[in-house]
Amino acid sequence: MTANHPVALITGAARRIGAQIAETLHRADFNVVLHYRNSATAAEQLAATFNQRRPDSAICLAADLCQSTQVQHLAEQSQTQWGRVDALINNASSFYPTPIGSATEAQWDDLLGSNVKAPFFLSQALAAALTRQRGAIINIADIHADRPLAEHTVYCIAKAGNVMLTQSLARELAPAVRVNGIAPGAILWPEQAAELSDDGKQKVLGRVPLARPGAPADIAATVLFLLTGAPYITGQVIAVDGGRSLT
């Protein structure tokens, strides 16, 4: 994955961890496909920065990943620009509480759709392209895939499915395509409905052996390692959590 600028498709690439992954891969000489759903301005600004740095190295593509026809179209468009896709980073994810007694079917569809359905069908749509390039898939999971988070039952179910998706695809797409996952801990504090109070943040950090939050760069560096420095690793989910999964 070093010749003629390998191509990486990053879902949810306009902001937060996705944007840092895109930045890290672009600096490592990848061309990047920046997927977004609503954050058009941020995605376009990021692509413009990349293209100023290295012309014809970034494009933006919009898609609602819960709509199968849009997922298929995203996969097709991603291959058109440079005629290849070497890496798929399934980063886009919904996250919010669904306390028992208040969860809705729409929330179930959204959380399972963004965390399991979309990564599966996007991986399926790009499997042939990734096989040709002997490429890789990385799914962004969560440490709560196997340690449930209170009042987030549907989200935890979805991330558990994401982990099994990683393991299943690793077997099915071997030996041509490696598939791994990354399980972040306290990297960026959640927003909007899932936002934590200051006391809540301190409670989380109190369970982290390294006693500090991580940074998006920690996730991005792990992505780069799995893509370029780990040719014999597949089917694994690496926790990047400051040791929180030990407690």
Taken in order 32, 14, 122, 217, the sign of the CA dihedral is: positive
Three-class HEC string of 7-18: EEEECCCCCHHH
Query: Which of 36, 96, 155, 232 is the catalytic position?
Result: 155
Q: Which pairing describes strands 31-36 and 136-140: parallel, antiparallel, or unpaired?
A: unpaired
Peptide bond into 175 cis (omega under 30): yes
Would you give the DSSP letter of residue 56?
A: S
Which value, to the nearest 10 degrees, does the dihedral of the CA atoms of residues 34, 38, 41, 46 take? -20
Measured in degrees and rounded to the nearest 5, phi and psi for residue 145 equal -65, -30
**Residue located via tokens 């669904």:** 98
Which value, to the nearest 10 degrees, does the dihedral of the CA atoms of residues 189, 184, 89, 13 take? 10
With H, G, I as helix, E, B as strand and everything else as coil, classify residue 108: helix
The Cα 136–Cα 194 span in angstroms is: 31
CB burial of residue 36 (10 Å; 0-12, 13-18, 19+): buried
Within 10 angstroms of residue 22's Cβ, the number of other Cβ atoms is 30
Would you give the DSSP letter of residue 206?
A: T
- Catalytic site residue 232? no
Active site residues: 155
